[in-house]
Structure 1
Amino acid sequence: MKSAKLPDNELERLQALYQYDVLDTEAERVFDDLTELASQICETPICLISLVDPDRQWFKSKFGLDAQQTSREIAFCSHAILQDELFEIPNASEDERFFDNPLVTGAPDIRFYAGMPLKTPSGHNIGTLCVISEKPKVLTKQQRSALIILAREVISQLELRIQNKKLALANSFKTQFLSNVSHEIRTPLNAIIGLSDLLLHQKSLCDVDQQAKEYIQQIAFSGERLLGIINSVLDLGKIESGNMELEPQSTDLAEVMDKNIALLSVKAKQKGVQIISTSRLTAPTLALIDATKLSQIFTNLLNNAIKFTPENRQIFVNYSIYNNELEIEIKDQGVGISEADQASLFNKYVQVGKQKSAQEGTGLGLSITKGLVELMGGQITLSSRLGQGSTFRVCLPIDLVASPTVSPAVAHQGVLPSDLKVLIVEDNKVNQLVLEALLDQLNVSHDTVDTGEASLVQAQQNRYDLILMDINLPGISGLEATKQLKQAQLPSKIVALTADVFCRNDEKALFDDFLTKPIQIEGLRQALHKLF
């Protein structure tokens, strides 16, 4: 038996092999299909995808063989990787290099072998796609050609692994970047929106100084608009990274649709546009659906219709349930969309149309809407003619709820307990000021600490009904502090405060509720009512 010599470029060859990170991985259907196909085409009982490392040949895929690997010293593939052409042995028992090889004299009793080197784009042979038989044989021209093509396909699949790995890494970096952006921008927005909201609730100020009130309203409006832009970018990032998750709940569809129409009718009226709605919903109208994302889809489309519909025109809204699907149609009498623009309408990198307005946004609304519709398992279509308006149709699958249960989306607005006591855990001084002022407005007693360590001491020395826990804290994080508080079995409910919208489900599960900054008085009030 003659063992194969090492390739001259062995070190570089091994580096090329290792970059695929494929050795000792689980079987994969895509590779198993290729070995089975090669076995059928070449009419051999065995086919292998063999990868040659320093000591062995390891089989990424094997058809007709139970072994997972063999020693490199006796491997036929060790010889095959020394050349660039198909390596074929018609009868190993008559070949001086292999006649006394253990793989010939014993199982699997190799007589015929043909191996096509797996050549990487950098020119390194990392293994072979080989076919084996216990009987002497010669491949036909067609079989040789097929084996060569299939070997290229193996490399293509390995290259795809690298690209997917790079893409996953890039998405990870992107998610981390957006997470940082979310935290860094939403934190100061918490102060801008929260404090302006508090000032607008101060009747003593607003009733005395109308000009000051108008200034504050502009600050609040600008803050809300900036928040809307940030939310659009973050929503798109969450959809693309797969971090956007559905939260279905029992929802009154008629109530959700009517409330959103009523809300946007005010905006339409200010522009001189009339919204005419027609509901074909029949009882029951309760369904398990993510009400927040449904509202986002609907308001994005209706806002878009209002934006591009001229004064004294109409928008027609129809919605119905058919075959367990919620069908929504929004038809406007606006400027319409050209065929050329329709092709790129949902592209996040393209903002179609030339009309500009004071309400100009990021142009991400329709891209986000399409992403949300598809996330919910639905479809969105468009028909439009330039100068004659546009019609958007959305179909969303729903699970109807027959029993007349109360929708959890309806917040209970009872009276909060008079002795309610809250611990604020927040390191940012401005955010502390906002939260303290909000709780003062709600007549809720509170204490404040600025580290996770301090929260552990304070919560064990005093009894709190609620702990408002910032997640990003110096020292131990809010997540770790919450874990330790839970382990101590304190009676306090814990609500997370974060400016990061990319928190995972396992992180959310630690808390009784989750509030995303900026926090306004109504949002905090509703959270308190839900908990108490």
Structure 2
Amino acid sequence: MEFACNCINEKDRINTLENYYILDTENEEIFDDITLLASSICKTSISLISLVDKNRQWFKSKHGLKIEETSRKISFCGHAIHQTKILEIQDAKKDKRFFDNPLVVGEPFIRFYAGAPLISSNGNIIGTLCVIDQKPKKLTKEQKKHLEKLSKQVIKILDLRIENNNYYKLKNHLNTIFDNMNNAFLVQDENGEINKFNKTALDILKLKSNESLNLNFFLDQIDILNEDGKKINKYKFPSNISLEEGENLRNIVIGLRNKKKEIIWLRINTTVIFHQKSTKILFVITEFTDITENKILSDNVKKIQLEILEKRIFLDIILQNIPSAIIVKDVKNDFRNLIWSKGAEQILMRSAEDAIGKNVYDHYPKEIADKYHNWDLEVIKNETVLKIEAAETLVPHKGKILVQTRKIPIKTNSNEGYRYLLTVLDDITELYKNKEDAQAAAKAKSEFLANISHEIRTPMNGIIGMCDLLLDNNSLPNQIEKLKIIQNCGSVLLNLVNDVLDFSKLEAGKLNLEKIPFNLNKSCFEIVELLNNQASVKGLILSYKCDPLIPEWILGSPNQFRQILMNLVTNAIKFTERGYVRIFSKLINDIDNNLVIEISVEDTGLGISKENQSKLFQNFSQVDASTTRVYGGTGLGLAICKGLCELMGGTIWLESIKEKGSVFFFTFTAQNLDENQKLKLNKPSFIFDSFMEKKYPLNILVVEDNKINYQVINGILEKFGYKPDLATNGIIALEKIDTNNYDLIFMDSHMPELDGFEATKLIIKKYEKLNKKRPRIIALTASSMKEDKDHCFSIGMDGFLSKPILIESLFQEIEKCFLNIEKEYNLNFKNENSKLSFNLNSFLNNFHGIEDLAYITIGNFVKLLPSYKNKIDQAIKNKNAFDIEYSAHNFKSALSYINAEKSLFIVEKIEKMGRENKVDLAINLYEELINELDNLMSELMNYEQKKEK
């Protein structure tokens, strides 16, 4: 910190100050008006007229500060009086003169300061007119200009006091400044009458001066709209609220609609001025700007984002449910696979894990691979669709099959060549005898295809992540509620995406429902908030009425509940052109702590005839093909709802009359919460820790090519106190690792040039060769399927974060990384003899004391152990070095989860022998592994028996 020092002309300066006879005098309204105006112009919480004498700075007038004076040595104004221009400190914490100043680290916590010197007529500077805020800030040229003018007015007042205290002359100067400000200002007295306004205000409101004497009269002539476009009462106008409640309002968006239906959107700030030493309101200053263009643009962007999101969800549902094999290849990356659908896994008998990132030469002998590759080249070269009615292909475990193939070039940029190649395969082995039927089926499937895209989570990651950051950035109260709505809606949409992608699990009866506490009414209101804009655009009234008998919190499956209700309400809005959509909840039964709840969605839409109602809940079925052409949809949504209702112990049905509307009903079962569950609801939520970097010092690298995703994760890490490095692809990440020692790497899975999977493999091999402890690698991916997680762990990644990235999940990975480093340092497992068959303490520590979850994990491991043993056993018998390495690598991930130290040590050595083609040594180690697995099973069974007791 640098102390404020004396000026060169200190003696003359002090004499000038004393000649004004102003020090230690009473407050004066004229000076208070100037500080208030300075604060309003510069939009700061504090403004002062500070006079600097020998040892202190004394405040003639102050706004937003309680103290009367401070020491000159630590004062900002003590520095400002050394120059004739404004001293602006945009961020005091970054300024070496002030970063540790008591006024910065303590009350009033100054972060921003701007002081205009008070220069007397003889050239001496006696103090400053300064504005202060607790957040970093930068004044505009106009604000600086006005601040300098006001500082001159302070001197003029002092000079006029000496000459004759000519108050009216000063007032004229202030009025001139007021009238020529770029921002619009209105000043209302305690009765709401306007006694002051400037030219900008009249121009924006398109008024003449004599028309604006009574604001309420003006508001009676127009419609007042809130930010969502709903009409509100004139008494909700910001200045009227401030007059009623005596509170300042900031950044309130209001629309004014005239009789011609023209709307002006304003962003409004109000400042309440009270009588001196009284709580009685003197007047209210209303400052506003015209944001009509920005508001229209923002609304259009939101609408487009919602449409894009709906289309992407729809496309992904199609992709995951088409029985055909859907494969997308990257033309510029050696035709490597980018998308490998469920149909491709079933037809070609290769998992997405094994196929993505590889090309035909990784799967077939060169002669066959050349043929397939030439087909791909032909499509791109000729820029046409290639149709192959029947071709033989080799499939593991099946042998040769016949497939019908369509290859389609895809261009994402009209100025570039074809970037992707879409391949659609159908197994026609059994159908080939009936060629006409096979062709008809292939044609129907081809018509069913549309543009394929899997980038669903990227915009959602930006929305949720930025909401988290804004919520933590001291947002205003009126903004917090809206941000939380956006955040909650984003989470709801994310859960819906995950559930829809699991439709195959629903069909197979493998979808497990969660049982967690949730607020049914809140969930319904959130869906109303989310879809209200869609309804409003069509002029529909969307409402919800709850049954007061339903408990506030119930135990059930909130994600599935929201998915069903979202689907029904979305359909109701889609098929209703006028009238309303109403949601009702009703408690049907409450016996022995079990609840049966009925939800109904009523609309005044198209209605459905009785003969067509039976089609609604069938997979891929709709009432009429024309419905699809007009409204879109696959007919899958209601089938999903039906399956989910049945899983939740309920059912779904409808009552409808053609052209009059429909009512969809569904029931589900839930439970009341016990006292322990109610107590858990009151547990505090996660809170940002800006000093985490000091608590968990880590060197972090973020590998991410998407700018939005990087801004989100970087913003969160900076909030924690970290300054991560960035690499936009795997190649750059490898270069950075050569010159930096990282503890933690967040690795995006899909990137240009070198993706996250291949980069991870290279990093692991690099550190194995160096025999060094490698960084912990956490996958960042837009995928959330179990297969995707398994793939990440199988290649050696240490964790998995699904986009959008949640703050608490990121915190947990950082904490886990540091604790693992600390644990390895303290325990030092270099000595093989110190390893345990089953390290129970370490295992339980990984679950943070949740022993029930640990017990379930052991049970799952015991069930899967024979499968892992069979794979490695088969590889040993076949003496296949590659299979030995691969099966040992997969087994290693499972063993590490349960802290089986000795078995893990042996499997790591087997993996190394396979990689080095030392099959005989791997066989010897395998015999050792079998014995150790017996010991491991014995210890696991002992633990299970103790747990059961």
Structure having the higher helix fraction is 2
The higher radius of gyration belongs to 2
Higher relative contact order (CA 8 A, sep 6+): 1
What TM-score do the two structures reach when normalised by structure 1? Answer: 0.48
What TM-score do the two structures reach when normalised by structure 2? Answer: 0.29
